[in-house]
């Protein structure tokens, strides 16, 4: 088993004339909490999209847990244990929060056209999935809005629903795109504490895109810095803060 | 993916020998008809282009396929038909037409005045977008009442009525829906609702005319006299004869001779005419000429619009990224209004020519719409030049196909409608992005 | 059920009962039409209401089913149940054929493709040789009635309408079972946000393809029922307007709500019937058939604008999972955290 659960090797991606990813190289250590930072437009979300299978890279490789997943579709990657949340939460707006979380479960035989009419086949598993969903929602403190339509909750709660969905599949690794964006600082700290506990206790690796350097450095082991489609610096949070290249990028853009 | 394509190709190749023999035989009969087929393809392509380009244009700003587009074209066709046939009846100006003309002209002027007064306010541009075509409609009607409707007049009224219908459908239906965050499917379904409303309103109109005026206005010939021509290629000279004149046994038949010696306009006697070979190489009508000229004018105008004018560039910006465009200070609403107006206008002109080519009837636009979809998808949804090329490619495939079908068995020509549809399915299976994806993407 | 729906439902049943008391045959005919259209609407609800697919070619799949059943019965004396099965398979095949390339594309393409295939089918049927069993524009005759052994025509009609209602009931049961299961959640997820659905591991292409295939199969069954009721088929019956009448039934009734869809069906059919009757009593300067079609267009637009969820709104997918939530709530685990959210 490799030290690194995720390896991104020389990934390139362009859209028409715009080069979004210009040869990105990064490695995420198994069991770590790693951050991906960089100014707007540096390609962080695009990189997530490539890793998670939303885009196919023009060249390069993505290796997850020893398997080459380059170009795999998102659904296949999910089943491998790599889960991704969205910067702007994507709720299933026609359904309640509870249903949103239940949908993310893996391996429910009731999801097939052939077996779903026969309740007996899937009832037991459905109940187990429901227990898990309730537990996760309770942990994330969104159980009280379980019956709300997922379009009728606050933005912060939507982010928590995204997270809850992500946890339903017992993932090996989470790709979190700004998990606490738009959320008040108290809640943001709660979320990150929760994430860190998850990381330490269950060993779920995390790669987090986050802007707020101050919040991040309390919780994160390693940082990658992106600029204009490339990784330009990496290191521990302390090293990064001292790195003149990084300071330059952020000051230059400000 | 490539496995699937290989499978399809293999199946096609394997089944080829089955009909290859009859097709090859038919092909040999068809080859001498090629010049005629090419001419017919240009004409049909013109007509396809006029309808399909509207779908492409609205697609660029509205981002959905407008299923009401065909019926919008029928509106223009009917407006022109009614104007041509009923503005002046038996030498006397039709009172109703006159009233409509005056109301429309005045209404247009009022709207324009309002626009001018409220220019600064912002929503004013909608008044302009409505006022101008309404004014033009009124003027076109009045023109017909006093001078008789000529081709330009008919083109104007078809364009304005269809343009207004198209713009109204946006203002009354699609815009409110978009403001309510309607999904793509909902917009499409709404356009079906608009299509049904327009089409059956036209049916009502035909019923009303039949019941209360005793006049039949469905499945009628347009009624405009159209000259037909015949051409021969003899001794290196292309001889084009006014075939309608022949029908009237005129002694001086206008003839155009194009050869090594240049272009000569002469007259031919009936005797000389009968000395020509019995089957002309090509035959065509005024409609071929009018539609081709119209398309050339329109293409040039659109190219100029998009490349040179401010609003044309604004249109391209809005098509690319409406939010960014708005942020740059572009009046997105005006651009969208213009897009709907222009798309409708072009459809109306197309509808007019279609009605002249076949007949006027309420389903006219709808029947053409499906073919237009095939063109738009073949060209690549939203691509101007793709749509242009696809119009003629599809027209050629259809005309060639019809000739081959006729050569195999004349009864099969009823299947001509299947040709564009089959092309559509083929494109979907093999390359849904259409022709546009073959061109290099501009940076 | 929603209050609006309940009230309207009662009105509908009352009207039908009123008809029944006046003329049984007419009422039976009315019930058949409701059952037939309800099956078709339910199939569209599966495709659009649950999965979000824009199937504008519904009438084409119904036609495939009708003609498959019709030809098998008229030309080969195939017994009724096998005809229905064949109709379902044939329609499913066409649905899959159209679905395979298009469900992975944007909805515009599926809309265009389905409408085109619907018209292709109609044109192909029109162009069949008139001296063959297909009948071309003259239509297909000679379908063998399944209850032909019953002498009394009214009893025969009653038997067949009863059978149709039974098949409708089975369809409804199936839809409710599919809808109120984890499958229902997956389909709604695909409808609401396909990318998010894929990001939680759902193979959306397969679901969409299955949805349109099965929806077409059910439409095929409706077509077969139609064939064996009228014992005669004509290609020009299967025009696009029928597809959109079914759409308005679903839009009015309620997306992803099977009971709502049936209500929508009944309402549209009753409006049609009542207008026919009213025409004999009230002279209006309007042709009623054309006017009703205009009304279909207007209703589509109005409902999409002002009540897109339909008369009977969508309900959550009802599975045993809710019991677990109830239990947790009873145990007091679902209290909001002290203080306000942000």
Q: Give me the percent of chain C exceeding a pLDDT of 90.
A: 66
Q: Given this model, what pLDDT does residue A97 score? A: 96
CA B248 to CA C70: how far, in whole Å? 54
Q: Which residues of C touch B409 (CB under 8 A)?
A: none
Residue C323 pLDDT class (50, 70, 90 cuts): very high
**Residue contact C195–A90, C-beta within 8 A:** yes
Q: Which residues of A touch C315 (CB under 8 A)?
A: none
Q: What share of chain C is helix, strand, coil (3-state, %, to 5)?
A: 75, 0, 25
What CATH code would you report for C3-280+305-330?
Answer: 1.10.3470
Residue C342 pLDDT class (50, 70, 90 cuts): very low
In order along its 254 residues, chain A shows pLDDT tens digits of: 678 999 999 999 998 888 999 999 999 999 999 999 988 888 999 999 999 999 999 999 999 999 999 999 999 999 999 999 999 999 999 999 999 999 999 989 999 999 999 999 999 999 999 999 999 999 998 999 999 999 999 988 999 999 999 999 999 999 999 988 878 888 888 888 899 999 999 999 999 998 777 777 788 889 999 999 999 999 998 888 888 888 887 766 54
Q: C45, C59, C111, C275: best mutation site toward chain B, by most B Cβ within 10 Å? A: C111
With a CB cutoff of 8 Å and minimum separation 6, the contacts of B283 are B36, B228, B229, B230, B231, B243
CA B276 to CA B280: how far, in whole Å? 8
Q: B192, B368, B369, B425: best mutation site toward chain C, by most C Cβ within 10 Å? A: B192
Dig out the tokens for C242 from the structure: 């029928």
Q: Which residues of C touch A127 (CB under 8 A)?
A: 320-321, 323-324
Q: A51, A94, A144: best mutation site toward chain C, by most C Cβ within 10 Å? A: A94
Q: B189, B379, B409, B433: best mutation site toward chain C, by most C Cβ within 10 Å? A: B189
Q: Which residues of A touch B433 (CB under 8 A)?
A: none
Domain residue limits, chain C: 3-280+305-330
Q: Given this model, what pLDDT does residue B13 score? A: 63
Contact C223, C65 (CB under 8 A): yes
Q: Is A91 on the interface with B (CB under 8 A)?
A: no
Nearest to C324 among A92, A134, A147 (CB): A134
Q: What is the ipTM of this complex?
A: 0.93
B281-295, C117-131, C195-209: which is most confident: C195-209
**Residue contact A110–C323, C-beta within 8 A:** no
CA A138 to CA A144: how far, in whole Å? 8
**Residue contact A95–C188, C-beta within 8 A:** yes
Compute φ and ψ for B280, nearest 5 degrees.
-70, 155
**Residue contact A143–C195, C-beta within 8 A:** no
State the SS3 of chain B: CHHHHHHHHHHHHHHHHHHHHHHHHHHHHHHHHHHHHHHHHHHHHHHHHHHHHHHHHHHHHHCCCCCCHHHHHHHHHHHHHHHHHHCEECCEECHHHHHHHHHHHHHHHHHHHHHHHCHHHCCHHHHHHHHHHHHHHHHHHHHHHHHCCCHHHHHHHHHHHHHHHHHHHHHHHHHHHHHCCCCHHHHHHHHHHHHHHHHHHHHHHHHHHHHHCCCCCCCECCCCCCCEEEEEEECCEEEEEEHHHHHCCCCCEEEEEEECCEEEEEEECHHHHHHCCCCCCEEEEHHHHHHHHHHHHHHHHHHHHHHHCHHHHHHHHHHHCHHHHHHCCCCHHHHHHHHHHHHHHHHHHHHHHHHHHCCECCCHHHHHHHHHHHHHHHHCCCCHHHHHHHHHHHHHHHHHHHHHHHHHCHHHHHHHHHHHHHHHHHHHHHCCCCHHHHCCCCC
Domain residue limits, chain A: 1-81+172-254, 91-170
Q: Which residues of C touch A94 (CB under 8 A)?
A: 188, 191-192, 256, 314
Q: Which chains share 3+ C-beta pairs under 8 angstroms with C? A: A, B
pLDDT in tens, C263-306: 999 999 988 888 888 777 777 777 778 888 998 999 999 999 99
Nearest residue of chain C to residue A185 (CA atoms): C342
Q: At what angle do helices B384-408 and B34-62 cross, to 10 degrees?
A: 140
CA A123 to CA A141: how far, in whole Å? 26
Task: Determine how many CB atoms are found less than 10 A away from the CB of residue B410.
Answer: 9
Which A positions 11-40 lie with beta carbon below 8 A of chain B? 16-17
Nearest residue of chain C to residue A148 (CA atoms): C316
Which mean pLDDT values do the consecutive 10-residue runs of chain B (443 residues) have?
A: 61 60 71 88 95 92 92 96 86 83 90 82 76 90 86 93 96 95 92 95 92 88 88 84 80 81 81 83 90 95 90 87 84 89 96 94 93 91 90 92 83 81 87 72 38
Q: Which residues of B touch C45 (CB under 8 A)?
A: none
CA B313 to CA B307: how far, in whole Å? 6
Q: Given this model, what pLDDT does residue C303 score? A: 94
**Residue contact C192–A91, C-beta within 8 A:** yes
With a CB cutoff of 8 Å and minimum separation 6, the contacts of C331 are none
Q: Which residues of B touch A16 (CB under 8 A)?
A: 441-443
Nearest residue of chain A to residue C205 (CA atoms): A75
Total length of chain A: 254
Q: Give me the percent of chain C exceeding a pLDDT of 70.
A: 98
Q: Which residues of A touch B442 (CB under 8 A)?
A: 16-17
Q: Given this model, what pLDDT does residue B440 score? A: 47
The pTM of this model reads 0.90
Q: Given this model, what pLDDT does residue C340 score? A: 47
Which C positions 255-294 lie with beta carbon below 8 A of chain A? 256
Residue corresponding to tokens 């079908």: B405
CATH superfamily, region A1-81+172-254: P-loop containing nucleotide triphosphate hydrolases (3.40.50.300)
Q: Given this model, what pLDDT does residue B23 score? A: 66
């Amino acid at each position: 088993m490799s030290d690194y659960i995720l390896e991104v090797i020389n990934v390139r991606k362009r859209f028409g004339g715009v080069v979004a990813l210009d040869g990105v190289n990064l490695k995420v250590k198994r069991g770590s909490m790693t951050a991906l930072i960089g100014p707007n437009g540096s390609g962080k979300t695009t990189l997530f999209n490539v890793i998670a299978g939303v885009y196919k890279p023009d060249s390069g490789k993505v290796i997850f847990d020893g398997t080459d997943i380059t170009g795999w579709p998102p659904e296949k990657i999910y089943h491998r244990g790599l889960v991704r949340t969205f910067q702007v939460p994507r709720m299933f707006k026609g359904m309640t929060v509870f249903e949103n979380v239940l949908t993310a479960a893996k391996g429910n035989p009731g999801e097939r056209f052939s077996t779903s009419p026969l309740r007996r086949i899937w009832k037991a598993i459905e109940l187990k999935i429901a227990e898990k969903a309730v537990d996760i929602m309770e942990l994330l403190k969104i159980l009280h809005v379980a019956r709300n339509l997922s379009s009728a909750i606050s933005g912060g709660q939507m982010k928590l629903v995204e997270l809850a969905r992500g946890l339903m599949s017992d993932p090996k690794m989470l790709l979190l795109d700004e998990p606490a964006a738009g959320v008040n600082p108290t809640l943001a700290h709660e979320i990150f504490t929760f994430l860190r506990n998850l990381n330490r206790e269950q060993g779920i690796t995390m790669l987090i895109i986050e802007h707020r350097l101050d919040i991040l450095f309390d919780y994160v082991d390693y940082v990658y810095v992106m600029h204009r489609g490339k990784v330009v610096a990496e290191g521990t949070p302390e090293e990064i803060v001292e790195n003149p290249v990084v300071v330059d990028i952020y000051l230059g853009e400000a | 993916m490539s496995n699937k394509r290989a499978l399809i190709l293999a199946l096609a190749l394997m089944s080829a020998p089955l009909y290859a023999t009859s097709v090859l035989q038919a092909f040999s009969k068809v080859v001498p008809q090629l010049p005629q087929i090419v001419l017919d393809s240009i004409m049909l392509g013109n007509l396809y282009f006029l309808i399909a380009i509207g779908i492409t244009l609205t697609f660029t700003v509205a981002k959905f396929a407008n299923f009401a587009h065909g019926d919008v074209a029928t509106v223009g066709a009917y407006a022109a038909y009614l104007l041509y046939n009923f503005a002046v009846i038996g030498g006397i100006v039709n009172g109703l037409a006159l009233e409509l003309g005056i109301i429309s002209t005045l209404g247009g002027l009022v709207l324009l005045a309002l626009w001018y007064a409220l220019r600064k306010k912002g929503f004013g541009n909608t008044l302009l977008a409505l006022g101008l075509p309404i004014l033009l409609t009124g003027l076109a009607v009045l023109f017909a009442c006093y001078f008789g409707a000529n081709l330009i007049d008919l083109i104007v009224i078809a364009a304005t009525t269809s343009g207004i219908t198209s713009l109204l459908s946006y203002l009354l239906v699609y815009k409110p829906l978009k403001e309510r965050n309607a999904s793509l499917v909902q917009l499409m379904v709404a356009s079906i609702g608009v299509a049904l409303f327009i089409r059956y309103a036209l049916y009502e109109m035909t019923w009303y005319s039949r019941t209360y005026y005793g006049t039949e206005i469905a499945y009628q010939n347009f009624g405009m006299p159209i000259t037909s021509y015949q051409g021969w290629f003899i001794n290196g000279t292309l001889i084009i004869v006014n075939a309608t004149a022949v029908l009237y046994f005129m002694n001086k038949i206008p003839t155009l001779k194009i050869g090594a010696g240049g272009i000569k306009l002469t007259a031919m006697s009936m005797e000389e005419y009968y000395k020509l070979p019995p089957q002309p190489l090509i035959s065509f009508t005024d409609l071929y000429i009018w539609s081709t000229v119209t398309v050339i004018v329109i293409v040039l105008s659109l190219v100029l619009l998009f490349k040179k004018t401010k609003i044309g560039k604004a249109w391209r910006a809005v098509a690319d990224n409406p939010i960014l465009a708005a942020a740059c200070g572009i009046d997105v609403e005006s651009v969208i209004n213009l897009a709907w107006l222009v798309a409708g206008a072009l459809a109306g002109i197309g509808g007019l020519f279609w009605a002249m080519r076949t007949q006027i009837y309420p389903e006219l636009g709808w029947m053409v719409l499906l073919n237009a979809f095939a063109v738009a998808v073949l060209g690549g949804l939203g691509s101007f030049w793709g749509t242009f090329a696809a119009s003629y490619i599809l027209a050629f495939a259809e005309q060639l196909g019809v000739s081959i079908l006729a050569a195999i068995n004349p009864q099969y020509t009823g299947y001509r409608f299947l040709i564009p549809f089959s092309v559509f399915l083929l494109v979907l299976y093999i390359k849904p992005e259409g022709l546009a994806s073959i061109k290099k993407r501009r940076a | 059920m929603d209050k609006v729906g309940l009230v309207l439902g009662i009105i509908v049943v009352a009207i039908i009962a009123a008809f029944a008391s006046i003329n049984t045959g007419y009422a039976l005919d009315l019930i058949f039409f409701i059952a037939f259209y309800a099956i078709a609407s339910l199939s569209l609800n599966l495709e659009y209401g649950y999965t979000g697919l824009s199937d504008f070619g519904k009438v084409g799949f119904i036609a495939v089913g009708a003609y498959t059943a019709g030809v098998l019965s008229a030309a080969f004396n195939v017994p009724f149940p096998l005809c229905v099965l064949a109709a379902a398979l044939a329609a499913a095949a066409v649905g899959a054929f159209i679905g395979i390339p298009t469900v992975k594309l944007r909805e515009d393409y599926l809309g265009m493709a389905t409408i085109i295939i619907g018209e292709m089918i109609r044109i192909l049927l029109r162009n069949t040789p008139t001296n063959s069993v297909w009948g071309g524009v003259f239509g297909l005759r000679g379908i063998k009635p399944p209850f032909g052994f019953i002498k009394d025509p009214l009893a025969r009609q009653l038997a067949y309408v009863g059978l149709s209602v039974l098949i409708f009931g089975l369809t409804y049961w199936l839809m409710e079972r599919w809808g109120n299961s984890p499958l229902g959640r997956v389909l709604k997820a695909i409808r609401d946000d396909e990318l998010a659905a894929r990001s939680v591991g759902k193979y959306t292409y397969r679901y969409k393809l299955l949805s349109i295939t099965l929806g077409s199969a059910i439409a095929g069954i409706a077509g077969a029922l139609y064939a064996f009721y009228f014992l005669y088929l004509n290609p020009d019956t299967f025009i696009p307007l029928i597809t959109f009448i079914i759409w308005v039934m679903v839009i009015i009734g309620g997306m992803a709500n099977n009971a709502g869809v049936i209500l929508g069906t009944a309402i549209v059919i009753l409006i049609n019937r009542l207008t026919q009757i009213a025409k004999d009593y009230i002279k209006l300067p309007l042709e009623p058939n054309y006017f009703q079609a205009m009304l279909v267009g207007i209703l589509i637009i109005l409902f999409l604008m002002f009540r897109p969820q339909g008369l009977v709104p969508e309900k959550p997918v009802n599975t045993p999972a809710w019991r677990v939530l109830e239990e947790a709530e009873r145990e007091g685990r679902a209290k909001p955290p002290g203080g306000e959210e942000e």
